[in-house]
Chain A
């Protein structure tokens, strides 16, 4: 069965420092990859997604993620975090293996230290 692994449940980082949130998936077929963000007491919202084409995708607020097929990874990065980035980040995968339903990682809480 398809699975998504977010190895870090929490990532503390100082403000203005770079951050990487890791996501690995298991699938033997073509995948669609997503990062969603959940701010405190809110629903989830899409941060960025990879469907096809360029393996590097970017969001409007400075995050980027790179699809690495050989490593089956889709890590999320930001070169300089802000206090407003405090949130929980979820990686999700969709493919034929899951009948195209989103399979979710456990989430990573990004904690920004002032």
Chain B
């Protein structure tokens, strides 16, 4: 089975621009979560989608948004980029949404904001 794929792997943007990141979950997985990883803040939860519905949202400003499509693929968008948005963005999928479910992570998209 193919793992979680994320595109693009690397991205350079300038302040004020917007960016869209894509995540394809493992086949058959219906839950997708997004995380931001930085050296200073560690791993922080952004949001979780299940069956095209946002189930949970972390403590991030409204500039961060996401969606999930009927094939479970997910995108996240960051508008009006700030320098502090530079991070590794990780996507994780699981079969269903549940506290005991193992999350399978993609390799991440490394975003650099200049």
Contacts and interface: CB of A to CB of B under 8 A. Distances in A.
Interface residues of B, number: 21
Contacts of B90: 43-44
B81 interface: no
A100 B98 contact: yes
A45 B93 CA distance: 11
A90 B107 CA distance: 16
Contact of B108 (A32, A43, A95, A100): A43
A43 B4 contact: yes
Interface string A84-114: 0000001000110001111111110000000
Interface residues of A, number: 22
B49 interface: no
Interface string B38-64: 000011110010000000101000000
Nearest to B88: A43
Contacts of B103: 44, 46, 102
Interface of B: 4, 33, 42-45, 48, 56, 58, 90, 92, 98-100, 102-108
Given A36-B105, A102-B45, 12 more contacts: A41-B107, A43-B105, A43-B108, A44-B90, A45-B104, A94-B99, A95-B99, A100-B98, A102-B33, A102-B103, A104-B42, A106-B42
19 contacts: A32-B99, A36-B105, A43-B4, A43-B90, A43-B106, A43-B108, A44-B105, A46-B104, A49-B100, A99-B56, A100-B98, A100-B99, A101-B45, A101-B56, A102-B45, A102-B103, A104-B42, A104-B43, A107-B43
